Structure 1
Amino acid sequence: MSDIIRHLQAHRSIRQFKSTAITEEQVAQIIASAQSASTSSNLQAYSVIGIRDASTKRQLAELAGNQRHVEECPLFLVWCADLHRAQTAVQLHQEDDALEIPQNVETFLVATVDAALAAQNAAVAAEALGLGTVFIGGIRNDLRRVIELLQLPQLVYPVFGMCLGEPDQAPTPRPRLPRSAIYHSECYSAREQAEGIRAYDETLVQYYASRTGGGKQTNWSGELTARLRPERLRPDLYEVLTAQGFRLQ
């Protein structure tokens, strides 16, 4: 197994961090790695906001559901889908400040995927530097307030956050679904899905038991059922995104 593959497969989310500051040199390496990620048609339709200010992190932690690690990590990154820069570039080329770039669901997806690809590169780079990371989708709990707090212009929205810092814990990597449940040869096959889910449920029960001494008794399908309740699916996102200037049609 190559060192890169071993590094990727050793990933684990870190939620406890030492107070050690992240240097500007480390940030430069992480962002340079992010910028090396693939991007659709070279649009580079994403931006990232680095936050060290304690007050801002505290507010973001509250908005993300009172996740303490958002407040306690030395550096919090907010990864944004960004079509604002593309609109600025087009206006410079056309010399028409009123010109709006054409957009639809495709451009929205391109920007969102660009942000995700860049962020994953950043996470891998951070871990290579000895840092720990965890993605924070909870900043979408109250997207409007996050947009206001970070002063995001039209056509920019926060996709997720990322805690960064020197790890102060060493959790066991969480098991993933069996390959048979996610990999399909030639065409999609649903035949082995139920079997793979049942096997994964058993694996997670054992994993949680080993980590909590039997204090957590649940499985993947049970967690999924709870997390996909309508009230937990952020029903206001469409309204906020359209108000932010995205055309989702």
Structure 2
Amino acid sequence: MNETLSLLMNHRSIRKFSDKEVTREQLERIIAAGQMASTSSNVQAYSVIAVTDFEQKRALSALSGNQSYIEKCPVFLVWCADLYRLQKVSEAHLGDQPGYADSVENFIVATVDAALAAQNAAIAAESMGLGIVYIGGVRNHIAQFSERLNLPEQVYPVFGMCIGYPDQNPGIRPRLPLEGVLHHGVYDASKTVEAVQAYDDTYTEYMRARSGGKSASAWSQVMAKRLSEPVRLHMMDFLQSKGLMKR
């Protein structure tokens, strides 16, 4: 296994950070590495907001489910799908032609672009000895969160990312068996379900060890609970209010 594969296979989410600062140079290299990710048709439809001010981090934490590591990490990155930039720079060239920045397809392109760039940045950060954790809670109160960051129309926060030097050494969370994820030629529906049976046992043991015996839920049970909860049903109305996903 080479150094890159070793880094990828040892990813852990870090939720406790030391007081050591992340330098401006490190941050810029991390974002530059993110920019080198693949991007659909070179649209580069994303922006990143780096938050280091404690009061701003505290306010954003409160809007994201009071996750304390947002306040305590040296740098909190907010990864945004950004079609505003494309819309504005295209106006002079489009003339009377209609623009379709508000289409579902362009929404998907921008969201995927942001995710690809963010994962590149995550690996870059880990290669420097830093740790990261993604924060989906930025979408809990997404309208207030966006207002706090002064996000214009056609921009929305996809997720946050805490970055800093780890002050913990958590175990590696097991993933689904490869045979349940990798299909050859066509999708094998029976195989993907069968793989979960074995994974449930692995996941149960992992949770039992991680919680000191307090939790031993199977993965399928956890996912069933997740699917039964009406999570962030405000997203469609919010996105359309920002001029996204209209056609």
Structure-2 residue corresponding to 1:19: 19
Q: Distance in 2 between matches of 1:70 and 1:6?
A: 27
Structure 1 residues 170 and 247, CA, compared in 2 at 3 Å: closer, same or farther?
same
- SS of the equivalent of 1:5 reads helix
Structure-2 residue corresponding to 1:192: 191
Structure 1 residues 88 and 142, CA, compared in 2 at 3 Å: closer, same or farther?
same
Structure-2 residue corresponding to 1:79: 79
Residue 89 of structure 1: how far off its partner (Å): 1.0
The reply on whether 1:42 has 2:72 as its aligned counterpart is no
Structure 1 residues 146 and 211, CA, compared in 2 at 3 Å: closer, same or farther?
same
Residue 247 of structure 1: how far off its partner (Å): 3.1
Q: Deviations over 1:183-219 (max 9, x none)?
A: 1000000122232111111101111112222112212
Structure 1 residues 102 and 62, CA, compared in 2 at 3 Å: closer, same or farther?
same
The reply on whether 1:102 has 2:65 as its aligned counterpart is no
The reply on whether 1:235 has 2:222 as its aligned counterpart is no
Structure 1 portions without partners, runs of 5+: none
- SS of the equivalent of 1:17 reads coil
Structure-2 residue corresponding to 1:30: 30
TM-score (norm: length of structure 1): 0.95
Structure-2 residue corresponding to 1:127: 126
- SS of the equivalent of 1:49 reads strand
- SS of the equivalent of 1:78 reads strand
TM-score (norm: length of structure 2): 0.96
Contact 1:91 1:99 in 2 (8 A): no
Aligned pairs for 1:54-203 within 5 A: 54-94=54-94, 101-103=99-101, 104-203=103-202
Structure 2 portions without partners, runs of 5+: none
Amino acid at match of 1:155: Q
Residue 65 of structure 1: how far off its partner (Å): 1.1
Instruction: Name the Cα RMSD after superposition.
Output: 1.4
Q: Deviations over 1:128-186 (max 9, x none)?
A: 01100000011111110111000000000000000000000011110000011111000
Q: Distance in 1 between matches of 2:73 and 2:99?
A: 37
Comparing 222-231 with 168-177, which one deviates more in the overlay? 222-231
Q: Distance in 1 between matches of 2:230 and 2:194?
A: 29
Q: Distance in 2 between matches of 1:226 and 1:54?
A: 34
- SS of the equivalent of 2:169 reads coil
Amino acid at match of 1:208: M
Q: Distance in 2 between matches of 1:222 and 1:197?
A: 11
Q: Distance in 2 between matches of 1:205 and 1:71?
A: 31
Percent identical among aligned pairs is 48
Comparing 41-50 with 102-111, which one deviates more in the overlay? 102-111
Structure 1 residues 222 and 154, CA, compared in 2 at 3 Å: closer, same or farther?
same
Amino acid at match of 2:174: P
Comparing 59-68 with 142-151, which one deviates more in the overlay? 59-68
